Amino acid sequence: MIDDEVLALDGYVAHCAITPELAGQIVCLARLRPGDSDVVDTTLRSFGWSDDDVPIDDARFGTPQGHAVWGDDDPIAIPFAYFSYVGGELMPEDLWGGLPGWSSRACDEEESLDPLADEVIGQFTTLLSRGPDCEVRTAEEPGRRRGVAWRIGEKLLVVGRGKGPLFYHQVEHVQVCIGAYPHDRPLPVDLDGIHPFL
């Protein structure tokens, strides 16, 4: 539950686009065999992703577009949009909107993240020549969430919304995530099954 103090702050949506080139690189990562972080690191560097100049200290890599990348091989998470409340002592400034490659706009609704997710889902649908293998959602309002996933060999490629864990006033993020998922394991049927990826 969001308290009245947070609701009195300004809501912002910060966004760093998943370009077609980056989407293609993410699909290449999803096709790598799971369990070999050295191969993943080498591949990330070959894409021009940097582990020296990361946008956020805790991130493992940064993309040339400006995304922070968390994880090594299982899973890799690439947030591309955040809804956050800005103001007050805990988050006086729009952290994400001020980073290179990111843009930000004032917005009152967390649901403004949904069109950004839909755009990225459309890119992967085009690249993979098929829609997601599964789609899960929560039914309750407010804070309805959705996640979609493609099975690619021994991995899932997931796009979805989740709670942002890093900052007190950061409410939601949307990210692409790749993680190991055995080919004989049934696809997730609810958000709990897809939650480890978000």
Q: 95-114: per-residue pLDDT in tens?
A: 788 889 999 999 877 778 98
Please answer whether residues 174 and 159 qualify as being in contact, where contact means their C-beta atoms are separated by less than 8 angstroms: yes
Pull the structure tokens for residue 195. 């939650």
Q: Which tens digit of pLDDT belongs to each residue from 104-154?
A: 999 877 778 989 999 999 999 999 999 999 998 876 555 567 899 999 999
Confidence of residue 1 (pLDDT cuts 50, 70, 90): very low
Question: Does residue 54 register a pLDDT over 80?
Answer: yes
Phi, psi of 91, rounded to the nearest 5 degrees: -140, 80
Pull the structure tokens for residue 154. 């021994």
Pick from 18-22, 135-139, 191-195: least confident: 191-195
Confidence of residue 177 (pLDDT cuts 50, 70, 90): very high
Q: What percent of the chain has pLDDT over 70?
A: 85
Q: Which residues of 1-16 are buried (b: 16+ CB within 10 A; e: fewer)?
A: eeeeebeebebbbbbb
Q: What is the mean pLDDT of the chain?
A: 84
Q: Which residue did the predictor score with more confidence, 92 or 67?
A: 67
Residues with Cβ within 8 Å of residue 158, at least 6 apart in sequence:
147, 148, 149, 176, 177, 178, 179, 194, 197, 198
Write out the H or E segment, with its range, that includes residue 134: strand 134-137
pTM of the entire predicted model? 0.88
Cis peptide before 196 (omega within 30 of 0): no
CA gyration radius for the chain? Answer: 16
Tokens 């899932």 -> residue: 156
Q: Which residues of 22-35 are buried (b: 16+ CB within 10 A; e: fewer)?
A: bbebbbebbebebe
Pull the structure tokens for residue 112. 């403004």
Angle CA 44–147–192, to nearest 5: 105
- State whether residue 26 is helix, strand or coil: helix
- State whether residue 16 is helix, strand or coil: coil
What mean pLDDT comes out for the span 60-79? 88
Write out the H or E segment, with its range, that includes residue 12: strand 10-15
The domain ranges of the chain are 4-197
